Amino acid sequence: MDVAIVGIGIHPFGRHDGVADVEMGVYAARQALRDAGLDWSDMEFAYGGSLGMTTGGGGASADTMVGHLGLTGLPFVNVSNGCATAGSALAMACSTIESGQFDLGLVVGFDKHARGAFDPDPAVLGLGKWYGDVGMMLTTQFFAMKINRYMHDHGISESTLAKVAAKNFRNGALNPNAWRRKPLSEEEILESPVLNYPLRQYMFCSPDEGGAALVVCRADQASRYTDRPVYVRGVALRTRRFGSFEVMAPWMPIERSAAPTVDASRACYEMAGIGPEDVQVAQIQDSESGAEVMHMAENGFCADGEQERMIQDGETEIGGRLPINTDGGLIANGEPIGASGLRQIHEICLQLRGDAGERQVPGDPRVGYTQVYGAPGVGACTVLTR
Amino acid sequence: MTVAQQVPVAPGLFTWPSDEPQLIGSRCPHCEVMTFPAQHGCPRCTRDDMEEALFARRGTLWTFTTQAFVPKSPPYIRVETAETFVPYAVGYVEFEGQARVEGRIDVADPSTLRIGMEMETVVVPLVDDIVTYAFRPVGEGSE
């Protein structure tokens, strides 16, 4: 993989009444272009992610940005691939550069979701209307049922779930672009109401608003734009196989197979020639604290069940052996789907550049990792290095 | 309300009317996989001649959760407020040698649910005259 990230931009995540979704995307794009010392007219192609356009949620398709950034005629592809939208956009941008078609382009994503849990139309996921009628069309139920079974099988405690959320709120408090910036203690989290057993209110992320963008180019041209490129060593996207336990599934077979994140992460490490033991800072999908726990194993950072000790010992804290979700993750940033995976990569770039300020991981990290997962069973990962 | 007035939430999900309702799925004649609901194409071996098949009435609770906040309507069929909403439970029941199926759980006190407990398929009111399948812990009486 010979692709470099030479510019990064982000619009703060959270609630921004009166700011249109596309404006957040444009804000992030302009910041990424400035970071690379480039203009929009320099961009040879763009991939733009947003969920709004496909779900009837009232969101803009990403390519409406060109009306604001400038109608240069560049090829602009709209991307919508569930919670892996941003990962998919980056994967396609990398392929575009690797193929030799273009050398320099923009990856951008934004979304402005309604308040409250996602409430998609069952038809969007190929399900009958009855599935929503009976009250099962909630992503949060899946996360709760997956971690409930996982806790039963692998001995994860409720305290560990609370510790993950407390860490992410604590990290979010150090991140000026985060939505939730008030630290919450493990006790406060355990006192919040159960929303979907065993998960409590402060263990969940919420849909929100934001934008993020990256300028990417051929690795051998990166020095033209920056003296601090971050290289994409691996990027992989996989969908569910027969037997994986996925969000909003009326049934599953008794035979189990690995989750799509497992397949994507293995492919990504192989492409990078870098293993999970080499990763020094990671941003992984924490739709709720149980997801972070399970994704630690799915991404190869530990065996099933080892998370209990690792988290109780603080190994995933900034300053720990493997800092995870140093910017507060989804729990503190919320989830504007089109931007969420790019927010993770933005954070890894800051960490590898040494620009993460109060939340900088010590020891001059060189290898970072990101992972997103979402409906209807898609995972996308990256391995990034200085 | 008599059984005759009750309408299933969707056709083809469960046998109805019936004193002993069963879920209706499909079985692949080649690889034996069972799906719910029924479909033509086999998601495992990719052939397209699955046949309708009934699930056993009893299975074991594989995992579960509760729904403690008011779901948005639509998609939920019941329009509720924080004052009227009664939390409910959902879960997957494993039917031995068949598949795990997701459904509402008909239980008075969700805190009594345990992974591995024996469950049976029942049909319960959803809203107005509409009924749905659900899973009830064996031994728990009808409400």
CA pair distance A230, A45, nearest whole angstrom = 20
Q: Specify the pLDDT at position A322.
A: 98
Q: Specify the pLDDT at position A58.
A: 60
Which residues of chain A, if any, have pLDDT below 50? 56
- B-chain residues near A132 (CB < 8 A): 74-77
Tens digits of per-residue pLDDT, B21-62?
Answer: 999 999 999 999 999 999 999 999 999 999 999 999 999 999
Residues 6+ apart with CB under 8 A from A190: A158, A159, A162, A200
Q: Is A201 exposed, middle or buried (0-12, 13-18, 19+ CB in 10 A)?
A: middle
CB atoms within 10 A of CB A297: 19
- A-chain residues near B75 (CB < 8 A): 119-122, 129, 131-133, 137
CB contact under 8 A, B100 and A254: yes
Tens digits of per-residue pLDDT, A267-302?
Answer: 999 999 999 999 999 999 999 999 999 999 999 999
CB contact under 8 A, B67 and A196: yes
- B-chain residues near A194 (CB < 8 A): 66, 68
Among candidates A138, A193, A242 on the partner chain, residue whose Cβ is nearest the Cβ of B71: A138
Coil, strand or helix at A7 = strand
CA pair distance A209, A52, nearest whole angstrom = 11
Min Cα separation B69/chain A (Å): 6
- The DSSP 8-state label assigned to residue B2 in this structure reads -
- The DSSP 8-state label assigned to residue A237 in this structure reads E
Q: Does B44 touch chain A (CB under 8 A)?
A: yes
Min Cα separation A117/chain B (Å): 8
Q: Is A124 exposed, middle or buried (0-12, 13-18, 19+ CB in 10 A)?
A: middle
Q: Does A176 touch chain B (CB under 8 A)?
A: no
- A-chain residues near B102 (CB < 8 A): 136, 249-251
Between the alpha carbon of residue A271 and those of residues A90, A205, A230, A239, A382, the distances in Å are: 15, 31, 16, 18, 10
Cβ distance A227 to A26 under 8 Å?
no
Identify which of A52, A285, A250 has the alpha carbon closest to the alpha carbon of residue A137: A250
Between the alpha carbon of residue A1 and those of residues A261, A268, B50, B124, the distances in Å are: 20, 10, 43, 56
Phi, psi of A338 (to 5 degrees): -65, -25
CA pair distance A29, A214, nearest whole angstrom = 7
Among candidates A197, A250, A252 on the partner chain, residue whose Cβ is nearest the Cβ of B66: A197
Q: Is A7 exposed, middle or buried (0-12, 13-18, 19+ CB in 10 A)?
A: buried
CB contact under 8 A, B94 and A254: yes
Residues 6+ apart with CB under 8 A from A11: A24, A25, A27, A28, A31, A110, A177, A210, A211, A212, A339
Q: How many percent of chain A have pLDDT more than 70?
A: 98
CA pair distance A23, B60, nearest whole angstrom = 51
CA pair distance A22, A272, nearest whole angstrom = 33
Cβ distance A280 to A322 under 8 Å?
yes
Q: Does A123 touch chain B (CB under 8 A)?
A: no
CA pair distance A361, A140, nearest whole angstrom = 31
Coil, strand or helix at B104 = strand
Looking at the predicted structure, is the pLDDT value of residue B1 above 70?
Answer: no
Instruction: Find where tokens 């919320």 sit.
Output: A334
The tokens describing A289, both together, are 């604290």
Looking at the predicted structure, is the pLDDT value of residue B2 above 70?
Answer: no
Closest chain A CA to residue B68: A195
Phi, psi of B101 (to 5 degrees): -120, 140
Best of A133, A199, A287, A294 to disrupt the B interface (most B CBs within 10 Å) is: A133
Min Cα separation A255/chain B (Å): 9
Between the alpha carbon of residue B71 and those of residues A110, A137, A200, A222, B75, the distances in Å are: 25, 9, 16, 48, 8
CB contact under 8 A, A130 and B132: yes
Dump the DSSP string for A121-153: -GGGGT--HHHHHTT---HHHHHHHHHHHHHHH
Between the alpha carbon of residue A8 and those of residues A32, A34, A144, A162, A215, the distances in Å are: 4, 9, 34, 32, 6
Among candidates B10, B65, B78 on the partner chain, residue whose Cβ is nearest the Cβ of A148: B65
Angle (CA) A359-A361-A365 rounded to 5° is 145
E-strand spans in A20-75? Answer: 45-49
Closest chain A CA to residue B71: A135
| DSSP H or E stretch at residue A94 | helix A85-98
CA pair distance A11, A26, nearest whole angstrom = 9
Best of B13, B14, B40, B102 to disrupt the A interface (most A CBs within 10 Å) is: B102
Q: Specify the pLDDT at position B143.
A: 46
Coil, strand or helix at A203 = helix
- B-chain residues near A146 (CB < 8 A): 63
Angle (CA) A349-A352-A357 rounded to 5° is 85
- B-chain residues near A131 (CB < 8 A): 75
Identify which of A380, A374, A376, A343 has the alpha carbon closest to the alpha carbon of residue A83: A374
Q: Is A218 exposed, middle or buried (0-12, 13-18, 19+ CB in 10 A)?
A: middle
Residues 6+ apart with CB under 8 A from A60: A20, A21, A22, A50, A52, A53
What interface predicted TM-score (ipTM) does this complex get? 0.95
CB contact under 8 A, A133 and B67: no
User: Mean pLDDT for chain B?
Assistant: 94
- B-chain residues near A199 (CB < 8 A): 65
Tens digits of per-residue pLDDT, A350-369?
Answer: 999 999 999 999 999 999 99
